[in-house]
């Protein structure tokens, strides 16, 4: 990969998917490969995009089984969200180094003109774990009020 990247000299590199590589290598070999490739891409001043899939449809315990999130600058998580018998798609920024990014889990959809971010999911918790709980609207309002200024308060 390094030889091809040096020969072609792209502005960005995408690897889809790290999960496929993770399944066919040892944990140590996979981690060394990802660290080496990400370091090389950064050193070449290229943008790197790496995708990974979760073995569970509606949640998982880690972005990757070998926990490589420590070497990434940003992690964007896409998740299916079941709400009242309907499958929707959610997006959240788990990590963006050096940024005070939006922490909401937002609905998104993709059509012929691109990707569109919608409103945050409200009244649903446990989206990232895949264990959804729908909260009554008065409970959602109480929790929202507790964190209105960004700092937790006792009710």
Could you count the other beta carbons within 10 Å of the beta carbon of residue 5? 15
Model confidence at 139: pLDDT above 70: no
The pLDDT-based confidence of 120 (bands split at 50, 70, 90) is very high
pLDDT at residue 128, as a whole number: 74
pLDDT at residue 23, as a whole number: 87
pLDDT at residue 67, as a whole number: 67
Model confidence at 108: pLDDT above 90: yes
Mean pLDDT of the chain: 82
**Alpha carbon 46 to chain centroid distance?**
20
Model confidence at 148: pLDDT above 80: no
Q: What is the mean pLDDT of residues 46-68?
A: 72
Highest-pLDDT range among 7-16, 23-32, 49-58, 63-72: 7-16
Q: Dihedrals φ, ψ of 2, to 5°?
A: -60, -40
User: Distances in Å between the alpha carbon of 113 and those of 10, 39, 138, 149?
Assistant: 26, 34, 37, 36
pLDDT at residue 91, as a whole number: 94
Q: What's the first-to-final CA gap in the chain, in angstroms?
A: 55
pTM of the prediction?
0.73
Nearest one of 106, 107, 105, 39 to 73, comparing CA atoms: 39
Contacts of 46 (CB under 8 A, 6+ apart): 5, 10, 11, 12, 13
Model confidence at 4: pLDDT above 90: yes
């Amino acid at each position: 990969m390094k030889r091809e990247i040096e020969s072609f000299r792209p502005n960005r590199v995408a690897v889809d998917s790290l999960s496929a590589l993770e399944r066919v290598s040892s944990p140590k070999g996979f981690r060394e490969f990802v660290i080496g490739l990400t370091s090389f891409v950064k050193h070449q001043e290229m943008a790197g995009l790496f995708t990974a899939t979760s073995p569970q449809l509606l949640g998982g315990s880690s972005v990757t089984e070998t926990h490589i999130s420590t070497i990434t600058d940003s992690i964007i998580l896409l998740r299916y969200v079941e709400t009242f018998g309907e499958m929707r798609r959610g997006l959240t920024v788990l990590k963006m180094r050096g940024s005070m990014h939006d922490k909401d889990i937002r609905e998104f959809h993709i059509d012929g003109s691109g990707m569109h971010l919608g409103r945050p999911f409200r009244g649903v918790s446990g989206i990232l774990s895949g264990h959804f709980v729908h909260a009554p609207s008065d409970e959602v309002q109480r929790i929202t009020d507790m964190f209105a200024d960004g700092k937790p308060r006792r009710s």
